Amino acid sequence: MFRACRSWNRRQLLLVLTVFAVVAPAAPAQVLTSFAELTAVPPSGSTNRLEFTVTLPDILGGISSSDTSDVSGTLDAELAYDLVGTTPVFNGLTLTGGRVFLTDMTLDFLLGLVTITTQGMSGVPGTPAPPGAVVAGTFNGSSHQIAFDQGTIVSSGLVVDTRDLSVEPSISTGSGTGTIEILGTTLNGPTATYDVALTLPVSSIDTDIVNNITVELETSGSVRAEGSFTVVIPEPATGAMIAGCLMMSLRPRRR
């Protein structure tokens, strides 16, 4: 094509560029995958602050106690998206790892009748059936989870038990509608860096039998983490060739 370009004059090239801009179809979306390490933002309200409620339905007709735990750590995410121009349109999300940490808690029932404490709890984010679908920046929270596999849950008083999470993990499943959004874009030549935020609502109920007493653990709140990923924006081939022709035509010809 570039050999043919040499015979074009500027008027012909300008005409071709004008027609190309009017009638050429938009560049097809390009399906890409990127990995991002997302870091939990500081706790605020119910964001990165999970509420845990323990209910003992077999004692005195049912007693309960609640406490909150702040979230920190990272979530590793594999992001699938269509690249439309320079804009990523997400269509898939897989949590591939990282580690989420919880601050310790103490739940007290009836002035010490039962006391439950947690120590050193942390877990690994995951997507049991990857990838989780993303539509218009939203996804089903139940497609993702955090498996708490480190730390202990100790109960004393009327209910005596120690649960080692490395032996018996506790699974907190996402719920409701999660979101993934672009916070900002930085373009540097053909390279684009995207700042992203992931919000995963969490809601689960874990039931256990301890000393013939039913223990229900309910978890609620949301996890929000932010990070970035970088991608090289491919240049449309047809546009590049025509631009090359234009540049060649502008070069002074030898006489």
Cβ count within 10 A of residue 75: 26
Per-residue confidence band for 191, with pLDDT thresholds at 50, 70 and 90: very high
pLDDT at residue 177, rounded to an integer? 97
pLDDT at residue 239, rounded to an integer? 47
pLDDT at residue 113, rounded to an integer? 87
pLDDT at residue 29, rounded to an integer? 55
In angstroms, the CA 40 to CA 100 distance is: 8
pLDDT at residue 60, rounded to an integer? 84
More confident residue, 35 or 247: 35
Mean pLDDT is lowest, of 91-95, 141-145, 192-196, 246-250, for 246-250
pLDDT at residue 252, rounded to an integer? 52
Average pLDDT over all residues of the chain: 85
pLDDT at residue 28, rounded to an integer? 53
Per-residue confidence band for 35, with pLDDT thresholds at 50, 70 and 90: very high
In angstroms, the CA 255 to CA 77 distance is: 60
> Residues 186-210: what's their mean pLDDT?
91
pLDDT at residue 146, rounded to an integer? 93
Per-residue confidence band for 90, with pLDDT thresholds at 50, 70 and 90: very high
Q: What is the pLDDT of residues 132-185, one digit of tens each?
A: 999 999 999 999 999 999 999 999 998 889 999 999 998 888 999 999 999 999
pLDDT at residue 22, rounded to an integer? 44
pLDDT at residue 73, rounded to an integer? 98
> Residues 74-84: what's their mean pLDDT?
96
In angstroms, the CA 142 to CA 174 distance is: 4
- pLDDT of residue 98 exceeding 60: yes
pLDDT at residue 212, rounded to an integer? 85
Q: What is the pLDDT of residues 226-255, one digit of tens each?
A: 999 999 987 764 444 445 444 544 555 454
**Distance between start and end Cα atoms, the chain:** 23
